[in-house]
Structure 1
Amino acid sequence: MCGRYSLTATPEDVRALFGYIDHPNFPARYNIAPTQPIATVLQSHGKRRFQLIRWGLIPSWAKDPASFTLLINARSETAAAKPSFRTAMKHHRCLIPASGFYEWRRTPEGKQPFYIKPADGGVMAFAGLWETWSDPDGGDMDSGAMLTTQSNRMMSEIHHRMPVILKPEAFEMWLDTGNVPVRDVKQLMLPIEDDYLTAVPVSSRVNKVSNDDAELQIPVPMDAGEAPTVTKKKEAHEKAAAGGGGQLDLF
């Protein structure tokens, strides 16, 4: 599962990687949470477009979004067969730009948050799904979810699930729902390589949605155990010292 993430790269760097035709301007966000708007990249009429959607997919057939389950993640293994995600898998696949994400590991002292990001820095792309829900009065709301897969070796030390991360060479295939059926993108929804990500323990301040600043990503000492970290060249466990809103706020 992925319930918090960040997008701190500049608008120019994000656009350079994803190649959309729009020129949006947006601030760095360090603690993006469900129900907030998130940046996505989708394909429309053969062009990649930047689009804000609500994090928490609402299927087009839902009668009342207020009473519908908040679907922030979709299991890649079963999404194509689930009524809530089946249509989006066929027709509405998207990319979700991210600088990193947070995950919590259970320890004897409680849940320890980790910040996980590409070992080489930069921006990455989560595989996502989106839908448009229309209310009886004609208003539309775009919403979406992230696809998850089983964790790779490094992430398995923290949690058993992780986001599906796509490399740039897979972007076109993933977004081209008109020509690429679901059966052909299943090969993309696999755990990323073990050395792609690095993880560091961070402060429990991330647990509070209103905390949204760069200090959330500063490494902190672990209360117990070892912090799983992976670099591009090697995997190493470093013993840590004991020690002690509003939906339109994103852009």
Structure 2
Amino acid sequence: MCGRYASSSSAEDLVDEYEVVENLVRTPLHPNYNVAPTTQVPVVLERPDRVTSEGLHVPGARQLRTLRWGLVPGWAEDVSVGARMVNARSESAATKPAFRRAFSARRCLVPADGYYEWQDLSRDGAGTAGAKVPKQPWFVRPADGSPLTMAGLFEIWRDPALPSDHPDPFVWTCTVLTTQATPDLAHVHDRMPLTVPDDLRDAWLDPALTDVDEVVALVRPAGAGTMTAHPVARTVNSVRNNGPDLLAPLPVENGRAAVPGEQLSLLEEDL
């Protein structure tokens, strides 16, 4: 899964990197090294051509927006359901009621520096029998230092509590698609975000591409060796902690993080 990530790029950098035509981010994007569900996150998407009620033709454009992380389907009664839909399995998104419409025509890119994943140390017998073994967070990023471009879906949900004449009754939300982890990351977790390589960005964003089989053909898990990972301090467990120090690598001994003793007592209530 992907429940936390880091995002430090400015809107200007994202406009250049993703060839954005329309920048709809109205306030500066501040670096966020502990992005959590339900927060507003920068997303690249493409809107189709449309005709207004007055008959005016509005051409489509590639946009940079901020969306609430946690997809809210159009049929949802309350925005709170999005907190449970920050991820969608790429293997089943085309058929799941919550995601299939977005998978067909509302795909997006979710830029990041990298993402956090929590390793379950109890699987290898670590710790004392019967004692709870704290999970070890890792930071995963592209090995070549390039941006991490996560495949996403977005929805536009109308808040039924707002009056029909409300000037902005819609909530834009998104989710990150996940896939099976590459063999070299499987020791951390068996899932990882689905990434979109540079040569597939245009096709992934194309709102005119609605054939499900053709969209499924775009889903290509990252290859082994394309990502690198290192353990980080458990301070990332709390969303109250934020800063580039969260990315600092811990030393590794015998293939595992050499965690200072005091780190073991940190709470995981925010995970």
TM range (shorter): 0.7 to 0.9
Check whether the contact 1:106–1:112 (CA below 8 A) recurs between aligned residues.
yes
* Alignment correspondent of 2:225: 195
* Alignment correspondent of 1:35: 38
Check whether the contact 2:69–2:82 (CA below 8 A) recurs between aligned residues.
no
Structure 2: where are the runs of 5+ without partners? 50-59, 127-132, 262-271
- Which stretch has the larger CA shift, 16-25 or 103-112? 16-25
* Alignment correspondent of 1:82: 96
Provide the TM-score with structure 1 as the length reference.
Answer: 0.86
- Which stretch has the larger CA shift, 136-145 or 21-30? 21-30
* Alignment correspondent of 2:71: 57
> Pairwise CA RMSD of aligned residues?
1.8
For residues 150-189 of structure 1, what are the structure 2 equivalents within 5 Å?
A: 150-189=180-219
Partner of 2:103, secondary structure, is helix
* Alignment correspondent of 2:21: 21
**Structure 1 residue 128 and structure 2 residue 131: aligned?**
no
**Structure 1 residue 111 and structure 2 residue 109: aligned?**
no
Deviation of 1:184 (Å): 1.0
| Aligned-residue identity in percent | 38
Deviation of 1:48 (Å): 0.9
Deviation of 1:148 (Å): 0.4
Q: Which has the larger radius of gyration?
A: 2
Deviation of 1:174 (Å): 0.5
Deviation of 1:76 (Å): 0.4
More strand by share: 1
2:255 is aligned, of 226, 238, 245, to 226
Deviation of 1:68 (Å): 6.4
- In 2 relative to 1, CA 159–75 (structure 1 residues): closer, same or farther, beyond 3 Å? same
Check whether the contact 1:14–1:123 (CA below 8 A) recurs between aligned residues.
no
Runs of 4+ in 1 over 6 A off after TM superposition: none
The aligned amino acid for 1:140 is F
Partner of 1:165, secondary structure, is coil
* Alignment correspondent of 1:215: 245
Partner of 1:147, secondary structure, is strand
2:109 is aligned, of 78, 92, 95, to 95
In structure 1, C-alpha distance between the alignment counterparts of 2:188 and 2:103, rounded to whole Å = 28
Structure 1: where are the runs of 5+ without partners? 228-239, 245-251
